């Protein structure tokens, strides 16, 4: 997908080139994995405020959550019903990081409460854990319109909130769900394929916390034959707890 800012859009307009809005994605949650490819051009607004949040400015998780709920640092706040800071055990050993809220999450202000969330709950149960034992958050805290991929400036503005959450929870293992959160957490190039990210024990920044990448539950709902591979990823994550 090509993201256009306002200036480039104006230039294209002056050149007589039409801008097409993206087609609507099925409203089942943020589903970066395997979205229909194509040469869609989507208009994404420029940031209004380029000052970046400092992840060290928060005293506790509640402060992070309340900053997220009031955040207006990128245009995503205008269309959200609720920001979705994340939820879980503040001293969790496991942290699961998704992409961005979908429709259900936006309505409820809670992460992974739609169909993808049901599958995530099953994945967590299969590990012998309950949802309230782990911490669940997203890379992006507000729903991108029509569940489009988040733009780079949206990711950059939001990144310090997730960093603060990880620094406070100090999990023993992080599971990145899908390519958006994996690339963000590993600072990987936006084109790095999942095949290069999965199947290895990465480390989160300088903390040394093991980080495992697996498929996003929304992708697994569409490609159930990949669940076996995702289970291998979760076992790899569990092996880091020994």
Q: Which residues bind ligand URA (CB under 6 A)?
A: 29-30, 98-102, 105, 111-112, 116, 138, 218
Classify each residue of 60-83 as buried b or exposed e, where b means 16 or more C-beta atoms within 10 Å of its C-beta: ebeebbebbeebebbbbeeebebb
Q: Is the dihedral of CA 26, 29, 31, 32 positive or negative?
A: positive
Q: Which is nearer to ligand URA, 32 or 210 (CB)?
A: 32
Q: Are strands 173-177 and 209-214 parallel, antiparallel or unpaired?
A: parallel
Least spacing, CB of residue 50 vs ligand URA, in Å: 26
Q: Which is nearer to ligand URA, 41 or 186 (CB)?
A: 186
Q: Which is nearer to ligand URA, 89 or 181 (CB)?
A: 181
Cα–Cα dist 136/140, whole Å: 12
Least spacing, CB of residue 218 vs ligand URA, in Å: 6
Q: Which is nearer to ligand URA, 218 or 230 (CB)?
A: 218
Cα–Cα dist 177/91, whole Å: 20
Cα–Cα dist 184/154, whole Å: 12
């Amino acid at each position: 997908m090509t993201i256009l800012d306002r200036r480039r859009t104006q230039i294209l307009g002056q050149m007589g080139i039409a801008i097409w809005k993206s087609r609507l994605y099925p409203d089942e949650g943020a589903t970066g994995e395997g979205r229909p490819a194509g040469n869609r051009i989507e208009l994404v607004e420029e940031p209004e405020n380029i000052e970046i949040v400092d992840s060290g400015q928060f005293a506790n998780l509640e402060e992070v959550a309340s900053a997220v709920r009031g955040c207006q640092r990128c245009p995503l706040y205008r269309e959200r019903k609720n920001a979705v800071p994340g939820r879980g055990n503040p001293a969790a050993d496991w942290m699961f990081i998704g992409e961005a809220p979908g429709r259900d999450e936006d309505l409820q202000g809670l992460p992974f409460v739609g169909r993808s969330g049901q599958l995530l709950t099953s994945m967590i149960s299969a590990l012998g854990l309950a949802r309230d034992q782990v911490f669940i958050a997203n890379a992006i805290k507000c729903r991108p319109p029509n569940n489009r991929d988040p733009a780079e400036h949206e990711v950059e503005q939001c990144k310090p909130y997730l960093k603060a959450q990880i620094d406070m929870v100090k999990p023993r293992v992080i599971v990145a769900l899908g390519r958006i959160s994996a690339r963000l957490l590993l600072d990987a190039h936006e084109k790095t394929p999942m095949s290069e990210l999965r199947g290895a024990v990465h480390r989160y920044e300088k903390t040394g916390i093991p980080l495992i990448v697996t498929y996003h539950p929304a992708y697994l709902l569409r490609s159930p034959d990949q669940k076996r591979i995702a289970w291998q990823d979760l076992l790899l994550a569990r092996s880091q707890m020994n």
